[in-house]
């Protein structure tokens, strides 16, 4: 086994999209591991705490009237005229990758083991060694059109600090988003384009928010997955059958994720890291933070899948020491199912009804195929033993996770 290191640099990150056409920045053999750096796309919510002094972050986020290190920030066009900016905001997450796995072909499964995660410290001497993240209650959040205090509507950004000694996050201050003018002269009345630097001279900080409250840390990557095959440039916002923006805090240290391979090499990317998140990610974001992850990659060839937990797998599967989880989406494979413009159409299709139906069907298949249950047995077991959780209601393709505990199968001789 070889251990690699993949730093976050302008050459190793891509912003707001997965693509089957991206050249791999690293190629691994099955069994290799990699330490992968990621930087949060929300770092400019507090430049001084999350970017200043960090040479890589400063270069990645560089944007002046004369220079913009990463022009493509989404799955849209890079040639104007623009409403929001290059990429037009279809996709927002800053991902590191892609990584190719030697020999991976469509029909195979790539297993990604999360060995460890640790935060990227502030490099600003005034905050050296401390860890910060941002939680915007944004216009795409579930709450946006259902506010009871004025002004309405509004977007509020809360800056958190992660205390690794206590494994907890606490809020430092918040501010209401005010219109921000980017270096190209475009005014952003709302949070509608990634990487816009918030001018703190234009906002009013509210200190002592959530006073006395500490939230347990749940370090994880909100977006991990492979490149899909259907479209050349795919927004990072809706999750899909090859993974992506699933926003499940359970995909953490010790977890194993299984992704179906759609293109040669698989092309794995990760980012959108979180210090903590609850089920639903209700406000539109978690505590968005920069993390480094250590991962091990295992290739499972198509011919070897029958008779294993991966038999018939066409969607992401989570395995931990205690359980298996499947991921239901509002639209199972929106890229293939929603006509000529699926990336726009999916923006109107968020539904927990269909996400629950998809999670039910996937867990039923898993129980019938892997554990050899009849349909009636599988349905009874799901009703009395499976846990279905709302992972997110903010990523257009809403998510419901169906989990089944391994311990209940201890008396069986099958897998």
Q: What is the pLDDT of residues 30-82, one digit of tens each?
A: 999 999 999 999 999 999 999 999 999 999 999 999 999 999 999 999 888 89
Tokens coding 114: 């999360």
Given a contact cutoff of 8 angstroms between Cβ atoms, the answer to whether 261 and 91 are in contact is no
* pLDDT tens digits along 340-380: 999 999 999 999 999 999 999 999 999 999 999 999 999 99
The three-state secondary structure class of 12 is coil
Apex 244 CA angle, 241 and 100, nearest 5: 90
Is the per-residue pLDDT at 414 higher than 90?
Answer: no
Digit-coded pLDDT (tens) for 292-337: 999 999 999 999 999 999 999 999 999 999 999 999 999 999 999 9
Q: What is the DSSP string of 300-367?
A: E-GGG-TTSTTTT--S-EEE-SSEEEEEEESSTTHHHHSTT-HHHHGGG---HHHHHHHHHHHHHHHH
With a CB cutoff of 8 Å and minimum separation 6, the contacts of 275 are 119, 131, 133, 160, 162, 169, 217, 218, 219, 286, 287, 289
- When pLDDT is cut at 50, 70 and 90, the band that residue 1 belongs to is confident
How much is the pLDDT for 63? 98
What SS3 class is residue 227? coil
Give the percent of the chain with pLDDT over 90. Answer: 97
Q: How far apart are CA 22 and CA 138, in angstroms?
A: 30
- In angstroms, the CA 186 to CA 95 distance is 25
Q: Are the beta carbons of 407 and 324 closer than 8 angstroms?
A: no
pTM, whole model, 2 decimals? 0.97
- Residue 415: pLDDT over 70: no
Contacts of 112 (CB under 8 A, 6+ apart): 224, 256, 257, 258, 259, 268, 295, 296, 297
Residue extents of the structural domains in the chain: 3-225
Are 329 and 398 in contact by the 8 Å Cβ rule? The answer is yes
Q: Which residues of 8-47 are buried (b: 16+ CB within 10 A; e: fewer)?
A: bbeebbbbbbbbbebeebbebebebbbbbbbbbbbbbbbb
Q: What are phi and psi of 378, to 5 degrees?
A: -60, -45
Q: What's the mean pLDDT when you consider all of the chain?
A: 97
- At residue 20, the pLDDT reads 98
Residue 413: per-residue pLDDT: 73
Contacts of 128 (CB under 8 A, 6+ apart): 121, 122
Summarize pLDDT for 6-34 with one digit per residue, the tens. 999 999 999 999 999 999 999 999 999 99
8 Å CB contact between 318 and 256:
yes
What is the mean predicted confidence (pLDDT) over 226-253? 98
Q: What is the pLDDT of residues 108-138, one digit of tens each?
A: 999 999 999 999 999 999 999 999 999 999 9
Q: Residue 121, Cβ neighbours under 10 Å: how many? A: 16
What's the confidence (pLDDT) of residue 296?
98
* pLDDT tens digits, one per residue of 136-187: 999 999 999 999 999 999 999 999 999 999 999 999 999 999 999 999 999 9
């Amino acid at each position: 086994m070889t251990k690699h290191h993949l730093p976050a640099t302008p050459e190793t990150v891509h912003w707001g999209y997965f693509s089957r056409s991206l050249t791999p920045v690293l190629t691994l053999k099955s069994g290799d591991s990699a330490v992968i750096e990621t930087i949060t796309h929300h770092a400019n919510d507090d430049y001084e705490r999350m970017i200043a002094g960090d040479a890589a972050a400063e270069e990645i986020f560089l944007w002046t009237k004369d220079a913009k290190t990463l022009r493509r920030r989404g799955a849209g066009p890079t040639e104007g005229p623009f409403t929001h900016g290059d990429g037009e905001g279809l996709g927002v997450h800053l991902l590191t990758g892609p990584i190719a796995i030697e020999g991976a072909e469509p029909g195979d499964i790539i297993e990604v083991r999360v060995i460890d995660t640790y935060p990227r410290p502030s490099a600003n001497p005034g905050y050296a060694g401390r860890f910060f993240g941002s939680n915007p209650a944004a216009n795409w959040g579930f709450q946006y059109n259902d506010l009871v205090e004025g002004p309405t509507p509004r977007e509020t950004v809360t800056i958190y600090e992660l205390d690794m000694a206590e494994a907890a996050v606490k809020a430092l201050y918040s501010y209401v988003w005010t219109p921000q003018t980017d270096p190209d002269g475009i005014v952003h009345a709302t949070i509608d384009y990634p990487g816009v630097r918030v001018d703190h001279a234009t906002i009013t900080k509210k200190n002592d928010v959530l006073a006395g409250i500490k939230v347990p840390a749940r370090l994880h990557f909100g977006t991990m997955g492979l490149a899909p095959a259907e479209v050349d440039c795919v927004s990072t916002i809706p999750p899909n059958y090859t993974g992506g923006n699933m926003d499940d805090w359970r995909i953490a240290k010790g977890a194993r994720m299984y992704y179906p391979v759609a293109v040669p090499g698989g092309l794995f990317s990760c980012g959108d890291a979180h210090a903590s998140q609850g089920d639903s990610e209700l406000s539109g974001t978690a505590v968005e933070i920069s993390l480094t992850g250590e991962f091990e990659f295992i290739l499972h060839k198509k011919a070897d899948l029958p008779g294993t937990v991966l038999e018939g797998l066409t969607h992401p599967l989570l395995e931990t020491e205690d359980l298996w989880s499947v991921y239901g989406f509002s639209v199972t494979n929106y890229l293939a199912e929603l006509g000529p413009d699926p990336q726009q159409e999916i923006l109107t299709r968020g539904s927990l009804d269909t996400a629950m139906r998809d999670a039910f069907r996937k867990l039923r298949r898993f129980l019938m195929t892997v554990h050899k249950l009849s349909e009636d047995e599988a349905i009874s077991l799901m009703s009395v033993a499976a846990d279905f959780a709302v992972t997110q209601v903010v990523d257009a393709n809403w998510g419901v996770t169906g989990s089944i505990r391994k311990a209940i199968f201890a008396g069986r001789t099958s897998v």
